[in-house]
Amino acid sequence: MWASCCECIVAFGWPPPTQLGYPLPRSRYPLPRSRWRLYMRAMVLGITLVLSGCTGDAPYNPTKDNTVINDKDGDGFSSADGDCDDEDDTVYPGANDVVGDAIDQNCDLLDGVDADRDGQASMGSGGEDCNDDDPTIYDGAEETGWDGIDQDCNGDDQYDFSKVCAGKYHTCGLDTTGRIRCWGGDDYGQVGNRPLDARWKDLDCGYEFSCAVAEDGELTCWGRDEPGKNQVSTAPIDQQWDSVHVGHYHACAIDNEGDTTCWGADESGQVSDKPGGVPFLTMGLGRAHTCAITRGLKIIECWGNDGSDQVSRAPDPIYFDGFIQITSGANHGCAIRDDLGLTCWGLNNLGQTEAPSDAGPYSYIEAMYDWSCGVLEAERLSCWGINNQFQLKEAPLNGLESVFGVATGVDHGCAIRNNDGHVICWGKNDKGQTDVPWP
Q: How far apart are CA 365 and CA 236, in angstroms?
A: 27
Q: Tell me what the mean pLDDT of segment 111-133 comes to.
A: 86
CA angle at 293 for the pair 290 and 294, rounded to the nearest 5°:
120
293, HSE (Cβ side, Cα atoms, 13 Å): 23
What does the pLDDT read at residue 32? 52
CB-based contact 260:254 (threshold 8 Å) = yes
Asked if the model's pLDDT at residue 126 lies above 90, the reply is no
Give residue 399's pLDDT: 74
Q: Is the pLDDT of residue 106 over 60?
A: yes
Does the pLDDT of residue 19 top 60, yes or no?
Answer: no
pLDDT-based confidence at residue 69 (cuts at 50, 70, 90):
low
pLDDT digits (tens, 9 = 90+) for 192-232: 999 999 999 999 999 999 999 999 999 999 999 999 999 99
What is the secondary structure of 89-111 as a DSSP string?
TT-STTPPPPTTSS--TTSSSSS
For residue 404, give the nearest of 372, 378, 437 by alpha carbon.
378
What is the average pLDDT across 9-34?
44
Please report, rounded to a whole number, the percentage of residues in the chain having pLDDT higher than 90. Answer: 64
pLDDT band at 112 (very low <50, low <70, confident <90, very high): confident
pLDDT of 103 above 90: no
pLDDT, greater one: 439 or 427: 427
Residue 172 pLDDT level (bands cut at 50, 70, 90): very high
Under 8 Å between Cβ of 403 and 414:
no
pTM more than 0.75 = no
- Check pLDDT > 80 for residue 30: no
Average pLDDT over residues 43-56: 48
Distance CA 27, CA 237 (A): 109
